[in-house]
Amino acid sequence: MLAKRIIPCLDIKDGRTVKGVNFVDLRDAGDPVELGKLYSEKGADELVFLDITATHEKRKTLASLARQIAHNLNIPFTIGGGIRSVDDVGVLLDSGADKISINSAAVRNPALIDDLAKQFGSQFVVVAVDAKQVNGEWIVFLSGGRVQTEVRLLDWVKECQERGAGEILFTSMNHDGTKAGFANQALAQVSDALSIPVIASGGAGTMEHFYDTFTAGKADAGLAASIFHFREIEIADLKQYLHQRGIPVRLND
């Protein structure tokens, strides 16, 4: 069995790492490059950097960030935020990113997934999906969770895979920042429907939550932000806990 991955996520606004609850009430969590370097040293398997600030200089800002991160890290990292075209992705990969994440742009233009997979390979393409339960149905949202669509979660992730996505990053908006646990029932449904890896996001608060999402949720990776940023859980301790409970993880030498 492949090792389960632990992935700190750094949401970036105006060059700083921020964290909120249910996508709002953001607070500062530090310098993204310094935090990323720290996580790399502490045993994170990968990192995800998401620029949540809309700016006209988006491509230059992200490319500069990617270069700084690549210079300071020795683990794979994904970068996303405001990516809308093949050219945007080319600049980021050339700047040192290992993978890119697309979200709203993919929903608005699903053919973008095909184009990126064809141009760069599926292994570079992560489709991030923000979804929320609405009247008992999991529905996809856009623009940082501000815009509701009519797209159903399972329909969308299946289409993403068919179009060439290499990985799905599923964030439950209902659980984001609550520290009440991941959306494991929905995660299991997504995992069962796909053959590509699924990253669980939204709701991590305890070590047990990671165990639950790797077992009940069938996730391939667990992503979290505030519990790592504010040192509530240390990555090495989390991995030891999971290892002791029979979850395959990569342990530091």
Span 82-126, pLDDT tens digits: 888 999 999 999 999 999 999 999 999 999 999 999 999 999 999
Q: Binning pLDDT at 50, 70 and 90, where does residue 58 land?
A: low
DSSP letter for 175, please: T
pLDDT of 227-240, one tens digit each?
Answer: 998 889 999 999 99
Helix (H, G, I), strand (E, B) or coil at 70: helix
Q: Give 6's strand partners.
A: 222
CATH of the domain at 60: 3.20.20.70
| pTM, full prediction | 0.93
**Residue range(s) defining the domain that contains residue 15:** 5-244
The answer to whether residue 253 is domain-embedded is no
Mean pLDDT of 173-199: 94
With a CB cutoff of 8 Å and minimum separation 6, the contacts of 95 are 62, 63, 64, 66, 67, 70
Residue 24 pLDDT exceeds 60: no
Average pLDDT, the chain: 90
Q: Which residues is 224 bridged to in the sheet?
A: 8
Q: Which amino acid is at 229?
A: H
CA geometry: angle 55, 59, 64, nearest 5 deg: 105
Higher pLDDT, 229 or 155: 155
Catalytic position from the list 45, 88, 98, 130? 130
Residue 25 lies in a domain: yes
**Cα dihedral 204, 210, 211, 215 sign:** positive
- 56: pLDDT confidence band, cut at 50, 70 and 90? very low
The mean pLDDT value for 48-67 works out to 74
The pLDDT tens digits of the residues spanning 238-250 come to 999 999 999 999 9
SS3 (DSSP) at 199: strand
Residues 6+ apart with CB under 8 A from 66: 79, 92, 95, 96, 97
11, 51, 212, 220: the active-site residue? 11
pLDDT (tens digit, 9 = 90+) per residue, 66-82? 999 999 999 999 999 88
Q: Is residue 250 part of a domain?
A: no
Q: Is residue 178 predicted with pLDDT exceeding 60?
A: yes
The predicted pLDDT at position 17 comes to 77
In a domain, 47, yes or no: yes
Distance CA 81, CA 58 (A): 8
**Residue-level pLDDT at 226:** 84
Q: Is the pLDDT of residue 55 over 50?
A: no
Among candidates 214, 220, 132, which has minimal Cα distance to 173? 132
- E-state strands within 41-179: 47-51, 77-80, 99-102, 125-134, 137-142, 147-152, 167-172
In a domain? residue 252 = no
Domain for residue 174, yes or no? yes
In a domain, 249, yes or no: no
Residue 14 annotated among the catalytic residues of the structure:
no
Residue 11 annotated in active site: yes
What pLDDT, on the 0 to 100 scale, is given for residue 50?
86
- Structural domains of the chain, count: 1
